Amino acid sequence: MAERRRRAVIPHIERILTVVPPAEHDRPNLEELFTLLDLAELGTSPLELVQLSWRTVRPQVMGMIAEAFIWHEVYLEAEIVYDQRPFRLGLDDRRVRLVLERWTRFVAPGDTIISFNWDLLHETALYRVNKWHYADGYGFVSADAPTGVQSPIKILKLHGSVNWAQQNEQDREPAIEQKGYFFPGAIDGPGIYQKAAGQWNEGRFLIIPTYLKDMASNTLLLSLWNQAADALIDATDWIVIGFQLHPADALARHLFGSALLRRMTTPRVTLVAPSGGGSNWQSFCANLSVTPARVRSSFEDWITAPRSGEAESS
pLDDT digits (tens, 9 = 90+) for 167-191: 999 999 999 999 999 999 999 988 8
Report whether pLDDT(111) > 90: yes
Distance between CA atoms of residues 180 and 247, nearest Å:
40
Strand 164-165 and strand 154-157: the pairing is: unpaired
The lowest-confidence range among 126-135, 158-167, 194-203 is: 194-203
Sort residue 63 into left (φ over 0), alpha (ψ -120 to 50) or beta.
Answer: alpha
- CA angle, 64 then 67 then 73, to 5°: 140
Q: Nearest-CA neighbor of 240 among 201, 210, 281?
A: 281
User: If pLDDT is split at 50, 70 and 90, which confidence band does 311 have?
Assistant: very low
Report whether pLDDT(304) > 70: yes
Per-residue pLDDT tens over the stretch 82-95: 888 877 888 999 99
208-231 burial string, b = 16+ CB within 10 Å, else e?
bbbbebebeebebbeebbebbbeb
Which residues, other chains included, contact 279 with Cβ-Cβ below 8 Å and sequence gap of 6+?
Answer: none
Name the residue with higher pLDDT: 303 or 216: 303
Q: Where are the alpha helices (DSSP H) in 204-249?
A: 219-234
Which long-range CB contacts under 8 A does 13-22 form with residues at least 24 apart? 13/57, 15/52, 16/49, 16/52, 19/46, 19/48, 19/49, 19/52, 20/49
The lowest-confidence range among 53-62, 175-184, 290-299 is: 53-62
Which long-range CB contacts under 8 A does 43-50 form with residues at least 24 apart? 46/19, 48/19, 49/16, 49/19, 49/20
Report whether pLDDT(114) > 70: yes
Distance between CA atoms of residues 18 and 10, nearest Å:
13
Most confident of 14-28, 190-204, 244-258: 244-258
User: If pLDDT is split at 50, 70 and 90, which confidence band does 314 have?
Assistant: very low
CA quadruple 83, 85, 87, 91: dihedral positive or negative?
A: positive
- pTM for the complete prediction? 0.91
The lowest-confidence range among 17-31, 104-118, 229-243 is: 17-31
Collapse the DSSP code of 39 into the 3-class scheme (helix H, G, I; strand E, B; otherwise coil) and give the result.
helix
- Mean pLDDT, the chain, rounded, equals 90
Note whether 201 and 59 are within 8 A (CB).
yes
Report whether pLDDT(235) > 60: yes
